[in-house]
Structure 1
């Protein structure tokens, strides 16, 4: 009976490790794909700079922001491994803010939509402020502890 219980416990300990390994391998593959796309976007960006006759600033800015989105996703994957398999929420907020700024720059023909996108950016910034205000461990922060 004790041997069966140890086998079940061993199996239950192995299953999360298998899923973690699958997740890590998938993120490494995704990182490689994003790196290739980042280099490809850099080539497109260089081609736009070399092409002297094309003065489309919307295309230029859109490509710069797409480049930064790739860069932020790659940085988030790197941070995931450095933070012991944890995605910091602030990186997701950075990506959301960058994506919203990109949408405003590229598609600013409708003022009401630009206003909504700006409000979304404001909400993301407020969320970022709240995350930075709230400490990871409340006992170490003077705002949340009683002074005796």
Structure 2
């Protein structure tokens, strides 16, 4: 029975190690994709002719860049804050993703309205998350 308890006590540490390695690998992959997206934006701005430029595509590329950036920042913050994901980073990612969705698919006014309401709710959530009500004790 003592041997079983010994392994049970080590299980959370083992799972934490697997999570940390997985997040590190995801961070490396996202960093590569961020560099690829940076090159795509750079080539779009400096190498494409004015006739070939589509500013909706450029804006979409820019927002995808920020999504990669925010996910990488989230992973960095996770490791810096003793393995904790701050809620506000998820809200930032959600706001950026919904803005990207509105820019890409804005033909239907009702959907755009509801997505805008979703952004408003997320901004309200961000205000609550940054208030003293939800602050962690340091």
- TM-score by length of structure 1 reads 0.86
The structural deviation recorded for 1:9 is 2.9
The residue number in structure 1 matching 2:25 is 29
Out of 33, 53, 69, the position equivalent to 1:71 is 69
Change beyond 3 A, Cα 1:18–1:106: same
The structural deviation recorded for 1:137 is 5.2
Out of 105, 119, 123, the position equivalent to 1:121 is 119
Q: How does 1:102-121 map to 2 (within 5 A)?
A: 102-121=100-119
Q: CA RMSD in A?
A: 1.4
The yes-or-no answer on 1:51 pairing with 2:48 is yes
The residue number in structure 2 matching 1:39 is 35
The residue number in structure 2 matching 1:142 is none
Change beyond 3 A, Cα 1:47–1:137: closer
For structure 2, list consecutive stretches of 5 or more residues without a partner in the other structure: none
Q: For 1:89-148, what per-residue CA distance to the aligned partner results, in whole angstroms no more than 9, with x for missing partners?
A: 10000000000111111211111111010011011111111111214258xxxxxxxxxx
Q: Which has the larger radius of gyration?
A: 1
Q: For 1:36-87, what per-residue CA distance to the aligned partner results, in whole angstroms no more than 9, with x for missing partners?
A: 1111111111121120232311001000000000000000000000010010
SS in 2 for 1:99: helix
Larger relative contact order (C-alpha < 8 A, sep ≥ 6)? Answer: 2
For structure 1, list consecutive stretches of 5 or more residues without a partner in the other structure: 139-148
Q: Is the 8 A contact 1:48 1:54 kept in 2?
A: no
SS in 2 for 1:108: coil
Alignment: residue pair count: 134
The residue number in structure 2 matching 1:60 is 58
